[in-house]
Structure 1
Amino acid sequence: MCGPGRREGTEVSAPQETLWQSTIGANTDQRPALDGDTTADVCIVGAGYTGLWAAYYLRRRDPSLDVLVVEANSAGFGASGRNGGWCSALLPQGVQAMARRHGRPAALAMRATMVDTVQEVEDVVRAERIDCDFRRGGTVVVARNPAQLARARAEVAHDQEWDGVDGLQLLDAAQTRERIGVADALGATYTPNCARIQPAKLARGLAQVVERNGARIVEGTRATSVRAGAVETEQGTVRARHVLRATEAWTPALHGHRREVVPVYSLIIATEPLPQAFWAEAGLASGETFSEHRHVIVYGQRTADDRLVFGGRGAPYHYGSAVRPQFDQEPAVFAALQTALVDLFPTVEGAEITHRWGGPLAIARDWHASVGYDPASGLGAAGGYVGDGVSTTNLAGRTLADLVTGNESELTRLPWVGHRSRHWEPEPLRWLGVNAGLRLAQLADAEEARTGRPARLGKVLAALTGH
């Protein structure tokens, strides 16, 4: 872990291969880099989901637009191609926090639009024939001690207070076992608003669709600065009327954006394909994604080829908002994930862990994702998804397309449009604060496992994360 007094840079060289990449094989059709100065109507920096969705909808809104996407590595290299594969209606900011700032109707509109966005992604995947193992089975979040069960009940009651917009249901122990065979589950919450996907397949397929629709993508082209009318890269300058930044966890590497978000790592393990005897007990037969009502976030899915993929937070924030390939590998975190997975599914013990990987996600200071565009300068940006980006990026792409083309719509009136989060504190306060928050979550989980009562630290965490 990098601590105060040591400053790390940012690199984009290849990290450990993910399960997702290994199952689709190497990309033999590497796109060329930018070859000198050029022009475009719209230049998008970053070929992750946000940039690709923005390019897709811009060309649909106005096929005459010359859209160029500039990518430092390859399309889907970052979180878009290495996440846990949840296409959900989740947002990092809570509905109450949105309502306090923007009012109840705006908060409800944002939540309802996120629910609709899961369907929008499915519609595009079907229409464009993108093979990404899309299966809408919802999400089941298990409660395994009384404190977690109390939190599950509170979440369902909270959803009902907000017109049941998330469709959250409380399952008893028997109903939980019908969906997921987790050891000692007392109950669970369930929402239908999530689909399992293979994220690298979605990224690759979407990039191909974007190119078929007439947009350009250049890879191996690292942007060094973004300003009104131009993107400076190591291979040349792109001059464009509209410049959209979709750099997420890599944002602090750009000049002038060091404290805009913090990159925090999430790590994932994957088992070998598991036999049907295991799945007869473990369930997840409808493609449900799963989690647990704990404070340190964990997430999992049953893949199309019957593996368990299981990930979570726990890796440290690195001093100076550093992003490096070696940060994808934290043996202690991988070991903790494997222990937690066996705790959930005891019969998985002894199965081979075939893949271990990770990557950074971006967190804004108030945990509030946002979309912005200034018509005067032509500058726009979206991000701050805190790991909830698979579907949120689709909404961001549609919204950016409307903003750039001047289409006033329900999307451009949503409360995250134009939202500005204050900057993170300078170092070493940033390093101390982010890692202290992680430690608080770990201590809260340990307290609840020991006492069965809601941890007092949980309220502190909720305040820090805007919920």
Structure 2
Amino acid sequence: MDPLRALADAERKPYWLDRAIAPEPLPRLTGEVTADLAVVGGGFSGLWTALMAKERDPALDVVLLEGREIGWAASGRNGGFCAASLTHGLGNGLERWPEEMAALERLGRENLDQIEASLARHGVDCSFERTGEMHVATGEWQLRGLDEEAAAASSLGLRVDRLDRDQVRAEVDSPTYLGALWDRDGAAMVDPARLAWGLRDACLRLGVRIFEHTPARSLRDVGGLLELATPQGAVKARRVALGTGAFSPLLRRLRHFLVPVYDYALMTEPLPEARLAEIGWRNRQGIGDSANQFHYYRLTDDNRILWGGYDAVYHNGGLVKPEYDQRDETFVTLARHFYETFPQLGDVRFTHRWGGVIDTCSRFSAFFGTAYGSRLAYAAGYTGLGVGATRFGANVMLDLLGGEETERTRLRMVRRKPVPFPPEPVRSGVIQLTRWSLSRADAHQGRRNAWLRTLDALGLGFDS
């Protein structure tokens, strides 16, 4: 089907948020309140922090501030991959923290197990499916990377299956597939909006006070308390946890480490069982290809296919604007790639198209820290893998705020910061050159030019 025709009726909004089951907004904050802990941000980072703070100490008075509605940003418009990885994949982690990878993989998989247990304990219904994820090779040059990752995973005792061309096409039939690595335990599929709304309800039941449409405009120290000013009030708290993602941080220092990147996705109409049978996919794994500009895709509980990724768009100057959430050039490219991957589904149409900003850093995975004499903690830079890793990050923030030395806080990954990005306009030039180089590498059998090899040597990069 012509991509323009397939997209003609697609709603310009995230599929996950475009449903009548969305909860009614909670009141905004008016006046001044006090709290033991103030959490800024109503995405997964803030929700897990508030929830686990109350689980650690039910008597703790916790306030959560959200500038819009719970889950409206990256937490409610992502692909719904809840991955165990804390390091944006095994390869990235091995390059940066080889001596810690055994511990990081164990902690990540324990974190995923604990997410599953927490959802059951709090009755959060978000279509949690522990199906794992397949990394597929669509170019000959990607096969060696799969072999290397399979060997590394095996050395760490991880359960992964290396599939050849016939084996992967028996799982999901695409003429583009040449092989795959199936991590059976390392990912679950979730409905991200229902996950956010379910965590919101769990927080409320435990006594967290949540204020929506209440952006925190500024932060200052007032007489031993930290004061968060909002448009119609303020919160004074003994401790503060920041989980604001890509949006303007209340700590200026974070701006040196974060850049906003736009990611885009499509959602198909539901596939009848007979149509889905044409490509198989009986085991419902999440799938991502192994190119530098990669796609990610998965099935919803009503057998739609979410198809996203490829373009990771940075606007010069780090600009974040609502109009950037829609990019027709990318939507057409994604639709064309969908039909190339699944020609059997050449008449399937799309019902939704959307995009949005995520936060990334030079090491692709979250970093952590404190300020104001360790009365404030932050976690940021999840680079698209925050659905699962934010719960780990929330535990790190609570450990740091409590002054606890734990296995988590002893990690070099937690104690060290990523390399900061250069100031503008050099930052924009570096990022755009890197994006161009990655695209060129994909077009030339993965061969990395001198610029990418330099970044590799320095442990730097750009990803989504």
Instruction: Give the TM-score normalised by the residue count of structure 2.
Output: 0.89
The reply to whether residue 223 of structure 1 matches residue 220 of structure 2 is no
Question: Given the alignment of the two structures, is residue 179 of structure 1 paired with residue 175 of structure 2, yes or no?
Answer: no
- Assess if the C-alpha contact under 8 Å between 2:42 and 2:69 holds in 1: yes
SS in structure 2 of the partner of residue 87 of structure 1: strand
For residue 312 of structure 1, report the CA deviation from its aligned partner.
0.3
Provide the residue aligned with 1:17 in structure 2.
13
Q: Within 2, Cα distance between the matches of 1:207 and 1:416?
A: 29
Residue equivalent to 2:461: 465
> Shift in Å at residue 191 of structure 1?
0.2
For residues 315-342 of structure 1, the C-alpha deviation after alignment (integer angstroms, 9 at most, x for no partner) is 4211332221111111111111111111
Once the 2 structures are TM-superposed, how far is the Cα of residue 94 of structure 1 from its aligned partner? 6.3
Gaps of 5+ in 2: 1-10
Question: Shift of residue 136 of structure 1?
Answer: 0.8
Letter in 1 for 2:75: S
Report the CA distance shift for 1:461/1:164 in structure 2 as closer, same or farther (over 3 A).
farther
| CA spacing shift, 1:466–1:351, aligned 2, 3 Å | closer
Unaligned runs of 5+ in 1: 1-14, 449-453
1:43 matched to 2:38? The reply is yes
CA distance in 2, matches of 1:97, 1:317: 21
Question: How many Å apart are 1:279 and its aligned residue?
Answer: 1.4
> How many residues matched?
444
* Aligned mates of 1:26, 1:133 — CA distance in 2: 15
Instruction: Give the equivalent residue in structure 1 for 2:3.
Output: none
Matched, 1:108 2:102: yes
Superposed CA deviations along residues 414-446 of structure 1, whole A, max 9, x for unmatched, are 333233234321111111222222222221112
Contact 2:227 2:236 in 1 (8 A): yes
**Alpha-carbon distance, 1:155 to partner:** 1.8
For residue 268 of structure 1, report the CA deviation from its aligned partner.
Answer: 0.4
The equivalences for 1:313-462 within 5 A come to 313-373=310-370, 376-448=373-445, 454-457=446-449, 459=453, 462=456
Q: Which residue of 1 aligns with 2:26?
A: 31
Moved more, 230-239 or 32-41: 230-239
CA distance in 2, matches of 1:275, 1:94: 33
The residue that corresponds to 1:214 in the other structure is: 207
Amino acid in the other structure paired with 1:168: V
Q: C-alpha distance in 1, partners of 2:196/2:455?
A: 33
Q: Is 1:88 the counterpart of 2:83 in the alignment?
A: yes
CA deviation map 1:108-153 (0-9, x unaligned): 2112111221111111111211111110111112112211222211
Distance 1:94 1:200, change over 3 A: closer
Displacement after TM superposition at 1:160 (Å):
3.2
Classify 1:94/1:279 alpha carbon distance in 2 versus 1 (closer, same or farther; 3 Å): closer
Counterparts in 2 of 1:405 and 1:355: CA distance versus 1, 3 Å: same
CA–CA separation in structure 2 for the residues paired with 1:254 and 1:407 = 23
Corresponding letter in the other structure for 1:201: R
Q: Secondary structure at the match of 1:110?
A: helix
1:297 aligns with 2:294: yes
**RMSD of Structure 2 on Structure 1 (CA):** 2.4
Q: Deviations over 1:176-225 (max 9, x none)?
A: 12321122322111102111111000001101101111111111111122
Q: Tell me the residue number matched to 2:303.
A: 306
User: Does structure 1 conserve the Cα–Cα contact (< 8 Å) formed by 2:289 and 2:295?
Assistant: yes
2:260 partner letter:
P
Name the SS of the counterpart of 1:44 in structure 2: strand
**Partner residue in 2 for 1:451:** none
Percentage identity across aligned positions? 34
Distance of aligned partners of 1:460 and 1:111 in 2 relative to their CA distance in 1, 3 Å threshold: farther
1:382 match: secondary structure: strand
Classify the secondary structure of the residue corresponding to 2:71. coil
